[in-house]
Structure 1
Amino acid sequence: MITPNLETADADALAPVLLAAIQRLGQLGRIGAVALSRIVDDGDAHFDEGASWITDVAAGDIPA
Structure 2
Amino acid sequence: MSNSNIEAATPEQLAPILLAALQRLGQLGREGALALARLVDDSDTDFDEAAEWIGDIAAGALRE
Where on the TM-score scale, by shorter chain, does this alignment land: which range? over 0.9
Identical positions, percent: 59
RMSD between superposed Cα atoms in Å: 0.6
- TM-score, structure 2 as length reference: 0.96
Structure 1 regions of 5+ residues with no counterpart? none
Matches within 5 A, 1:20-59: 20-59=20-59
Residue in structure 2 matched with residue 8 of structure 1 by the alignment: 8
Q: CA deviation at 1:43?
A: 1.6
| 1:17 partner letter | I
| 2:8 partner letter | T
Q: CA deviation at 1:33?
A: 0.4
* Structure possessing the higher relative contact order (Cα contacts under 8 Å, 6 or more residues apart): 1
